[in-house]
A = this chain, B = another copy of it.
Amino acid sequence: MPGEVFRVNMSNLSVSIEEFPAKWAGLGGRGLTSTIVAEEVPPTCHPLGEHNKLVFAPGLLTGTPAANSGRMSAGAKSPLTGGIKESNVGGTAGQLYARMGIRALIIEGQPTGDGFYRLHITKDNVEISEDTELVGQGNFAVIETLRLRMGKRVGVLSIGSAGEMKMSAANISVCDPEGKIRSFGRGGLGAVMGAKRIKCITLDATDGPGVEIADPEQFKSASRAFSKALLGHPVSGEGLPNFGTNVLVNVINEAGGLPTRNFRYGQCAGHDNFSGETMRERILERGGKPRHGCHPGCIIQCSQVYNDKDGNYLTSGFEYETIWGLGAHSGVEDLDCIALADQLMDDIGVDSIETVVAVGVAMEGGALPFGDGDAAVSLIREIGSGTPLGRILGNGAASVGKAYGVTRVPVVKGQAIPAYDPRAIKGIGITYCTTPMGADHTAGYAVASNIMGIGGLVNPLSKEGQIELSRELQIVTAAVDSTGLCLFVALALSDDPEAFPALVTMLSARYGESLAGEDVAALGKKVLLLEREFNLAAGFTNKDDRLPEFFSEPIPPHNAVWDFSGEEIDEFWNF
C-alpha cells in the first residue's frame, strides 16, 4: 500500500486525496518535504504569500516499532532565511499520520479574510472549519482545550500568537503523549502556517489502515539490534538519558566552545549554575522527571520534566541550546528563570534558539542589560503581545540586529547560530556555513566528532578534515531525517558497526525492498543537492555560505579565529 497524499487548498477551502505518486517512492520525512517544496513552490515567491506551501510528512519508519522512529518533518520556503526549510519533531503527530496512511499533507493557497481555521484530519477526510475560540490562545491552552474537547488521544499541531502574527521565528507546536509541547523549531514554519490562517491541525487516527511491514520477522530482528546499539552507546545510552542535551554545558565549556556574551568568549565562569548536572539535581529535589520520552517508542528519553521550587511543572524538552542562549550567551545564569522563559517561548510559539540568540543581540544593542533575566522574560512576553519590540524580537536575531544597528549578529542565511562556537569547533562552523537550512547544528553535527570523538576524533581547532566531516554528516543527516528516526541515533550509527546495517535492514523490511548502504547515502546526497538547488534558484550564492565578519576576532581561551577562506568553504559542494 503506497499510502496517500492529502492536499488542502486554503484559497478555496477544498481538499483532495491523491494516491502517493510513484515519482516519490522511497521518500519520506525531510526527503519528501524537500522534494515537494522543490517541485511545487516557486523559489522566489514570498514565503508568507499564496504561492508558498506547507508540507508535513512522517518519516519512512515512522509508525513502526523501531526505536526512536516517531518523528516527522515539515517543509516550506522559510520566512526567516528565504531558502528551503525542513524541520522535524517528535510528539505523537507523526505516528498518527503514519497510522492513517498519510505520506504527506500539502497545504497550499491562502484564504482572504481575517479568520483562522482548524483542519481536522481523519483517515479519509480533512474537515476545514473556522475556529474562533482558539484564536489568540497560547499553545498550552490550545492543546488543553482540544484534548478536553476531543480526548487525550487526539494529535495536535498548533501555532501560538507568534505564528498568528507571522513572525519569522514562529514555530509549530506538536503535543507529546502527556499534552506537553514539542516543536518544529527553526526557520519560521509557524509563520507560514499563520499566513495560511491555520491555527491548528487535529488528528484522529481511528480506523486508520495502520503501518504495514512487508517482512515483519526481518524487521523485528533488525529493530532489536538497532535498539541494542542505541542503548549501548555512552551518549545515547547514558549521557542523554541522565542529563538530557544539557549534558553539553560542561562539555562544551571545557572545550572552550561555549559562546559567551554574544560570542566574545568561549567559556563562561558561571556555567555550573545552569549545567546538566545542576539541572538533574534540581529536578530530583523537586519531584520532576529526569527522563521523559517525546514520543512513544523513544528509548533515549532525553526530555525531562523540570518543576519550579514548589514542585509545579515549569517546562520539558528543556534543551542545551536554549539554556546556553540565556545562560552563557545572554548572561542569565538562573536556571529557573531560563525554564520560565522556555515555557513562555513554547506557549507563544517561537523557536527558542532563534529567540534566545535574539535576546543576546538585543542586549548587545542596548535594549536591555546583559544578564538581566527579568528583563529577558518580559521581553519574551512582549513577543506574545505583539508590541513593536516583541515583533522585532519575534522576527529573530537578524531583525534585532537591524533594529538596533548591531554589527555583531551571529546568523548565517538570516538564521541564528546556536550554542557551539565555530572558531573553537570548526567542523560545526562548516555546517553553519553550508547547510541550505541556515545556521543549524542539527544539519551536520560535527561537534560529536570534534569534541566527543564520535566516529573518530577530528581536531576541533584545526581546519584539516572539517569540510569532509561536515559533508559526510550532512549527507547522513539528510537521510536520517528522512527515516523519521531521532537524530541521536546517528551517534550509534557512527560508532557501532551493527547500527547502520540494522537501519538499512529495517528500511528494506518495511517496504519489501532490498536496499544497500549506498542507497541510504545516495538518498542523503540527493536531498541535500535538491535543497541547495532550490536556494540557488531563490537567489542564494556562495556569499550566503559565510560566517559574519566578526568571527575573525580571536575567541578565548584558545584564541581561535575563523580562518577558512571562501574558496575552501566552497569546496564543500564538490561531490
- A405 surroundings in chain B (CB, below 8 A): 48, 165-167, 191, 194-195
**CA of A407 to CA of B389, assembled, Å:** 20
Cβ contact within 8 Å between B195 and A549:
no
- Interface membership of A301, Cβ < 8 A: no
A270 within 8 A of B: no
Provide the A379-416 mask, 1 if CB < 8 A to any CB of B, else 0.
00000000111011001000100111101000000000
Given A392-B388, A399-B402, A546:B44 Cβ within 8 A: yes
B388 and A45 contacting across the interface, CB-CB below 8 Å:
no
A574 at the interface (CB under 8 A from B): no
A108 shortest CB reach to chain B, Å: 15
Q: Name the distance in Å between A183's Cβ and chain B's nearest Cβ.
A: 19
Of residues 277 to 308 in A, which have CB atoms within 8 Å of B's CB atoms?
Answer: none
Docked pose: A399 CA to B402 CA in angstroms: 8
Among A18-26, A235-243, A535-543, the one that faces the other chain is: A535-543
- Would you call A549 and B407 a contact (CB within 8 A)? no
Is A395's CB under 8 angstroms from B391's CB?
A: no
A544 at the interface (CB under 8 A from B): yes
Q: Measured between alpha carbons, how far is A537 from B44 in the docked complex, in Å? A: 20
A543: chain B residues at CB < 8 Å are 44, 537-539
A400 smallest CB distance to B (angstroms)? 10
A556 interface residue (CB < 8 Å to B): no
In the bound complex, residues from chain B placing their C-beta under 8 Å from that of A399 are 402-403
B392, A51: Cβ atoms closer than 8 Å: no
Q: Are B388 and A48 in contact (CB under 8 A)?
A: no
Distance in Å from the Cβ of A300 to the closest Cβ of chain B?
Answer: 37
- Chain B residues with CB under 8 Å of A403's CB are 388, 391-392, 395, 399
A115 in contact (CB, < 8 A):
no
Of the listed residues A44, A194, A387, A405, the one surrounded by the most CB atoms of chain B closer than 10 A to its CB is A405
Give complex CA distance A165, B404 in Å. Answer: 7
Contacts of A195 in B (CB 8 A): 405, 407
Q: How far is the CA of A168 from the CA of B548 in the complex (A)?
A: 19
Given B46, B166, B538, B549, which contacts A51 in the complex, CB threshold below 8 Å? Answer: B549
Partner of A388 from B194, B389, B407, B549 at Cβ < 8 Å: B389
* CA–CA, A191 and B404, complex, Å: 11
Tell me if A216 is interfacial: C-beta within 8 Å of chain B: no
**Mask of A23-45 contacts with B, CB within 8 angstroms, 1/0:** 00000000000000000000011
Beta-carbon contacts of A259-282 to B below 8 Å, as 1s and 0s? 000000000000000000000000
Interface set, chain A 189-230, CB cutoff 8 A to B: 191, 194-195
The answer to the question of A2 belonging to the interface, with a C-beta cut-off of 8 Å to chain B, is no
Residue A151, interface by CB 8 Å:
no
A432 smallest CB distance to B (angstroms): 16
B residues in contact with A168, CB < 8 Å: 402
Q: Is A453 an interface residue (CB 8 A)?
A: no
Q: How far is the CB of A387 from chain B (nearest CB, A)?
A: 7
Given contacts A51-B549, A539-B541, 14 further A-B contacts (CB under 8 A): A44-B549, A46-B407, A46-B548, A46-B549, A48-B405, A49-B407, A166-B405, A191-B405, A194-B405, A391-B403, A395-B402, A395-B403, A399-B403, A539-B544
A-B contact pairs, 20 of them (CB 8 A): A44-B549, A46-B407, A46-B549, A49-B549, A165-B404, A165-B405, A166-B405, A195-B405, A387-B388, A388-B392, A391-B392, A391-B404, A392-B392, A392-B403, A395-B402, A395-B403, A399-B402, A537-B543, A539-B544, A541-B541
